[in-house]
Amino acid sequence: MGRWLDAAAVAIGAMGYCYGAKVSARMSSVLSICWALVFALPFTALLTLAVSAQTVSWPSDAVTWGMFIYLALMSQLIGFFFWYGGLTMGGTAKVSQVQLSQTLLSLVWATVIFNEPSTLAMWLTVGVTIVLIALSKRVAH
């Protein structure tokens, strides 16, 4: 059941990503992500309540809540303002390929800088991603 939910989450996320880029071409990126959050609020609120009912305790220290608020605002809200603006300026397909290359950079930085362990499967996944990006550029021209 979990794998189906993962696949559904990926599919829904991809649809939201594409529609968000389309909407950003018609209204500002700030408005598009804010309206998306307004429409998603009933669903996210219900999921939050369901998960919190299973949680034993919530963090009580200010540092943890500060990090949570920072990530929510900067990475998940304000970052989307710029991202959707970039998608509108550069074209969704082209700019999305830049994001796909992030897997390589993330793996290299995690392995080299932070000494995180990596597996052959991780490197193969990155390799397949890079090959698919290159193939998509050839097919597009």
Q: Mean pLDDT of successive 10-residue segments in the chain (141 residues)?
A: 81 83 85 88 89 79 93 88 85 80 88 93 91 80 57
Residue 103 confidence (pLDDT):
84
Could you tell me if 66 and 14 lie in one domain?
yes
Residues 56 and 13 in one domain: yes
Domain end among 64, 87, 110: 87
Same domain for 58 and 22, yes or no, is yes
CA distances from 33 to 29, 30, 84, 128, 130 (A): 6, 6, 8, 31, 29
For residue 1, the model assigns a pLDDT of 67
For the four alpha carbons of 89, 94, 98 and 99, in that order, the dihedral sign comes to positive
Q: Is residue 36 part of a domain?
A: yes
Domain count, the chain: 2
Stated pTM of the model: 0.64
> pLDDT at position 141, please?
57
Helices (H), the chain: 2-26, 29-54, 62-70, 79-90, 92-100, 102-112, 120-140
Note the pLDDT of residue 28.
Answer: 86
- Domain of residue 14 covers 2-87
- Cβ–Cβ < 8 Å for 80, 29: yes
Residues 68 and 110 in one domain: no
Same domain flag for 28 and 81:
yes
